[in-house]
Amino acid sequence: MMSVSTSRSRPDWPWLLFAALLCTQLWAAHAAAFFLHEYAHSFVAWAAGWKANPFALNYAHPTLKVFLMQMGINQNVDEGSIFASGHGPTAAIIAGAGMIVGNGLLSYPLSRLGYSVARKHDQRNWGLFSYWCTVASIGNFIDYVPVRTFTLEGDMGSIQRGFGWSPWTVIVVLGIPIAAAMTYFFLKIEPASLTWLFPNSVPQRTIAVLVTGFVLFGFYGAAGLPEGAQYRIEFPLFPYACFYRSSPWHRGFLFKGVPLWRFRQISNVKRARYLSGQVSEKPVCWMFRLIRRYV
């Protein structure tokens, strides 16, 4: 019996082109979301009168790491002087502008608009790039909430200090819309996008799914790992400890009977002692040791 070649047996892209698109588009999508994030900080600081030139980022010394991941480039805003002048809420607004304005109001909706235009004109190359820009935008959300929520420095620390919020307030105010965006992405955007982008090639679609998960939870979700701070290294492991205890073979034994409200209660006490100088240990360091003890 003679075999008939159909479109279903062919990959959506030649494998070499697919690999090239994957590498270049991931890099470009991350760079686009990153610079929109940093320029949002800078422009809001300029609009508030705390910066002379909104385009003057700290571009860092050019290295391969800076080129590939933009590590070392930052908003170049002196938040210390803003806090010192008594304008804490302004500093908090500037700190939150990167994620909220740069990614929430710019990179995310623009990526969805780009995807819609690409699909309308059946331009799968541009559609794939728009999809990765959406992934990078969602990744920037995860990068800050919940991964950096319990840090006492950086943008999340400035938001807490400027507004007088606890990390748990940040989790509620910013975490709920981020959780909604993630849920919509996994239930609607990802399956619909990858079905259209890879209608015939299951292997390429599978690779896209795996890369999406790695980018969101490996690259952005563990963004604190390269920075070297102990509490940023340990906090990304918190969800994995929770997952371990909530998995089917441990269901009903979450933290061996220690309720989650207990972690919140201890966190508030430890945080107050750290800020007052009574203890030198950053709160999330002891939190992870507590998880290890009970898990």
39-67: per-residue pLDDT in tens? 999 999 999 999 999 999 999 888 988 89
Q: Are residues 201 and 284 in the same domain?
A: no
One domain for residues 161 and 259 = no
pLDDT for res 111? 98
Task: Say if residue 87 is in the same domain as residue 132.
Answer: yes
- Domain with 289, as residue range(s), is 232-295
Distance CA(104)–CA(98), nearest Å, equals 9
Asked if 137 and 278 sit in the same domain, the reply is no
Same domain, 50 and 187: yes
Q: Is pLDDT of 264 > 70?
A: no
Could you report the per-residue pLDDT of 146-171, keeping only the tens digit for each? 888 887 778 988 999 999 999 899 99
* Gap between the Cα atoms of 268 and 285, Å rounded: 14
pLDDT at 253 over 80: no
Q: Does residue 19 lie within any of the structural domains?
A: yes
- When pLDDT is cut at 50, 70 and 90, the band that residue 191 belongs to is very high
Mean residue pLDDT across the chain: 80
In order of 11, 131, 217, the CA distances from 212 in angstroms are 19, 10, 9
| Backbone angles phi and psi of 74, in degrees to 5 | -145, 180
Contacts within 8 Å (CB) and 24+ apart, 184-188: 185/134, 185/138
Question: According to the model, what pLDDT value does residue 134 have?
Answer: 98
CA angle 182, 187, 193 (to 5 degrees): 100
Residue bearing the bigger pLDDT, 52 or 234 = 52
Q: Is residue 3 a part of any domain in this protein? A: no
DSSP tag of 257: G
One domain, residues 129 and 238: no
Place 11 in a pLDDT band, splitting at 50, 70 and 90. low
In a domain, 1, yes or no: no
Q: Among residues 211, 227, 243, which one ends one of the domains?
A: 227
CA distance 29 to 132: 6
Domain end residue (candidates: 227, 253, 268): 227
Distance CA 153, CA 159 (A): 9
Tell me, yes or no, whether 4 lies in a domain. Answer: no
CB 267 within 8 A of CB 283: yes
Q: What is the pLDDT of residue 76?
A: 93
Crossing angle for the helix pair 108-120 and 124-144, to the nearest 10 degrees: 160
In this structure, the answer to whether residues 221 and 260 fall within a common structural domain is no
Whether residue 55 is found in the same domain as residue 114: yes
Q: Report the pLDDT averaged over residues 16-29.
A: 96
**Residue 2 resides in a domain:** no
pLDDT value at residue 265: 52
Q: How far apart are CA 37 and CA 75, in angstroms?
A: 9
Q: Quick one: 146 and 273 in the same domain?
A: no
Of the two residues 50 and 11, the one the predictor is more confident about is: 50
**Which residues have C-beta within 8 Å of that of residue 216, sequence separation ≥ 6?**
135, 138, 139, 142
The average pLDDT across 23-42 equals 97
Q: Are residues 269 and 197 in the same domain?
A: no
- Please report whether residue 6 resides in a domain: no
**pLDDT higher than threshold 80 for residue 8:** no
Of residues 139 and 256, more confidently modeled? 139
Predicted pLDDT of residue 152: 77
Give CA–CA dist 230/76, Å, rounded.
Answer: 24
110 pLDDT band, cuts 50/70/90, is very high
- Average pLDDT on 201-210 reads 91
- pLDDT-derived band at 243 (thresholds 50, 70, 90) equals very low
In this structure, are 253 and 167 located in the same domain? no
Q: Given a cut of 80, is residue 202 above it in pLDDT?
A: yes
Q: Are residues 94 and 23 in the same domain?
A: yes
Q: Are 10 and 84 in contact (CB under 8 A)?
A: no
The answer on pLDDT for 284 being more than 50 is no
- Considering the domain boundaries, does residue 211 fall inside one? yes
Question: 215 pLDDT exceeds 60?
Answer: yes
Whether residue 30 has pLDDT greater than 50: yes
How many domains in the chain? 2
